[in-house]
Amino acid sequence: MRRKHSLLVVGALGMALALTACGDDSSDNTGSSSSSGSSEGGSADGKIGVILPDTESSVRWESADRPALEAAFKEAGVQYSIQNAEGDAEKMTTIADGMIADGVTVLAIVNLDSESGAAIEEKAASQGVKTIDYDRLTLGGSADYYVSFDNTKVGELQGEGLATCLGDKDANIVYLNGSPTDNNATLFSEGAHSVLDEMSNYKVVGEQAVPDWDNEQAVTIFEQLYTAADGAVDGVLAANDGLGGSAISVLQKNGKAGSVPVTGQDATVEGLQNILAGTQCMTVYKSAKLEAGALADTAIALVNGEEADTTGTTEDSEGGRDVPSILLDPVSITKDNVGDVISDGGQSYADVCTGEFEQLCTDAGITG
């Protein structure tokens, strides 16, 4: 898959802050990770359903996306239901069926795989329900819109970040890619390769995808790649902070944590702490408030029978169509700008700068 246009909504955290007018007041219906939050009333007719994928591929879905979406929908005064499929494609289908039966007029999903996602979207369309791919494009699907970050750019930032940390020396690189069923993981890898493959001083000595973004499997996979390379690993292109943490645990066991740069994504608490500690070289921040706001704007336009504003289209290579898209700009985070994530509300000072990390935050110029 490739992007047809490169128009993006924002270029920096300052712009992200300016655009997130959806509010961030806390929800009264968070419940457990599989619970449904709902809000009745509001000026718009219709109801919006959102199905999150799991709690394992990233902590972001429940800790960042759910509250940001709830705040955005409450600010807009629309009815909504948000549920989590807990990594089960059959459960996602059941949730979707229930939402359709319950009268949602717009359904947004973060697919677990394109096949099940496409089936959900086909059934929704047959019932007159508009659909939105949130964060992950459903290949072969029929979504009316796609709301995400520029995921190829995410990979490019990871590649550039690793190259900056490695410098001009000759280096052996291992790629720890995301789930093979996640189209975003493919885009991250393509973006990183587009940067690093142009550098003749870097050699790929191992590369493997991690099923379902499972961090425990990632430890085993990286141990195998590390052993196969006889420990001659100088850099790790990890697709997100969870996988990066898995690689760091193996490097720690081998006395190399901190000397081998590791990338990440999602600007999680663990990822930011690893950056402050010097065991992770960078992460990529994707503002949940910004993405949730874009989804809310798109869904509300559909509820009101309007077309949503887009930044371009994204090619669905399996479906042979161009999907109207809203693609947002990711931001590279290093030790120099960890504080930007906190000031933007992506993580809290209390969560990141706790215990041994309080002094590291102070050293990095981060204050509560």
CA distance 337 to 275: 10
What is the per-residue pLDDT for 133? 99
In terms of Cα–Cα distance, which of 188, 183, 194, 177 is closest to 242?
Answer: 177
What is the per-residue pLDDT for 35? 45
Tell me: do 107 and 245 sit in the same domain.
no
What is the per-residue pLDDT for 140? 98
As a whole-number percent, the residues of the chain with pLDDT over 90 amount to 83
What is the per-residue pLDDT for 30? 33
> In the numeric block, which tokens belong to residue 194?
């587009």
CA distance 142 to 231: 46
Q: Which residues contact 331 (CB under 8 A, 6 or more apart)?
A: 12, 13, 16, 157, 284, 285, 286, 287, 340
Report if residue 368 sits inside a domain. no
What is the per-residue pLDDT for 312? 96
pLDDT digits (tens, 9 = 90+) for 99-125: 999 999 999 999 999 999 999 999 999
Report if residue 25 sits inside a domain. yes
Report if residue 86 sits inside a domain. yes
How confident is the model over 199-211, as a mean pLDDT?
98
> Phi and psi of 22, rounded to 5°?
-85, -5
Tell me: do 324 and 339 sit in the same domain.
no
Tell me: do 339 and 218 sit in the same domain.
yes
Report if residue 8 sits inside a domain. no
pLDDT of 28 higher than 60: no
Report if residue 5 sits inside a domain. no
Report if residue 7 sits inside a domain. no
The predicted model scores a pTM of 0.85
Tell which wins on pLDDT, 116 or 44.
116
pLDDT of 242 higher than 50: yes
Give the torsion sign (CA, 322, 328, 332, 335): negative
What is the per-residue pLDDT for 58? 86
pLDDT of 281 higher than 80: yes
What is the per-residue pLDDT for 69? 94
What is the per-residue pLDDT for 44? 54
CA distance 97 to 120: 8
Report if residue 113 sits inside a domain. yes
Integer-rounded Cα Rg, in Å, for the chain is 20
Tell me: do 233 and 215 sit in the same domain.
yes
How confident is the model over 146-175, as a mean pLDDT?
98
Report if residue 342 sits inside a domain. yes
How confident is the model over 342-353, as a mean pLDDT?
96
Confidence of residue 76 (pLDDT cuts 50, 70, 90): confident
Domain hosting 189: range is 151-285+334-363
What is 8-22 written as a DSSP string? -S-SSHHHHHHH-TT
Tell which wins on pLDDT, 58 or 276.
276
In terms of Cα–Cα distance, which of 40, 43, 50, 45 is closest to 79?
Answer: 40
How confident is the model over 217-237, as a mean pLDDT?
99
Tell me: do 81 and 134 sit in the same domain.
yes
What is the per-residue pLDDT for 46? 85
- Tokens 């390769």 found at: 193
Tell me: do 307 and 281 sit in the same domain.
no
Output the domain CATH number for residue 277: 3.40.50.2300
What is the per-residue pLDDT for 224? 99
Tell me: do 294 and 265 sit in the same domain.
no
The total of other beta-carbon atoms located within 10 Å of residue 211's CB is: 13
What is the per-residue pLDDT for 368? 82
pLDDT digits (tens, 9 = 90+) for 310-338: 999 999 999 999 999 999 999 999 999 99
Tell me: do 68 and 178 sit in the same domain.
no
pLDDT of 200 higher than 50: yes
pLDDT of 2 higher than 70: no
Strands of 165-299 (E only): list them: 171-177, 202-209, 235-238, 283-285
Q: 74-78, 158-162, 183-187 — which is least confidently predicted? A: 74-78
Tell me: do 184 and 210 sit in the same domain.
yes
How confident is the model over 356-360, as a mean pLDDT?
98
pLDDT of 303 higher than 50: yes
Tell me: do 314 and 272 sit in the same domain.
no
First-residue to last-residue Cα distance in the chain:
42
Q: Output the average pLDDT for the chain.
A: 90
Per the DSSP assignment, residues forming a β-bridge with 52 are: 84
Tell me: do 52 and 196 sit in the same domain.
no
Tell me: do 74 and 157 sit in the same domain.
no
What is the per-residue pLDDT for 21? 35
CA distance 26 to 38: 13
How confident is the model over 201-224, as a mean pLDDT?
98
Number of domains in the chain: 2
